[in-house]
Amino acid sequence: MAARLATLDLFPGQDGLLYHLSVTDGQTMSELVEKMGIQHATLFNMVERMARSELVRKDKDETDGRTSRIYLTRQGSQLMQQLSQVWKDIEMQLRQDLSAAETKTFIQIAKKINGNLNNC
């Protein structure tokens, strides 16, 4: 996955930020920290790096000047479209030798594991 992200000039984790902003643009840093499960300092550095690459922009909240909101730029939105295709390609590669029943079982197990991780 890291190698595929590198072809888009992304580092691991940056794809998650693009995804969350594509779902709901203009989220606060605190909202993104919670959704991504990372430290505030990690997100801050990620946003700064991606802002320099013009993938996101950080603006002060209109009602609370202490809060920053993060937005996708046009370039970030275009990259998100490419990223969606990368994810589809990886999913197809992962599932290429699995039957429909195996795929269903794998998804069920992955959901259980994810639930267990969220309870840690």
Residues near 86 by beta carbon (within 8 Å), at least 6 away in sequence: 4, 5, 7, 8
* Single pTM value for the model: 0.82
pLDDT surpassing 80 at residue 118: no
pLDDT in tens, 63-99: 888 899 999 999 999 999 999 999 999 889 988 999 9
Count of C-beta atoms within a 10 Å radius of residue 35: 15
CATH code: domain 2-118 is: 1.10.10.10
Helices (H) and strands (E) in the chain, counts: 6, 3
**8 token code pair:** 């888009």
pLDDT at 99: 93
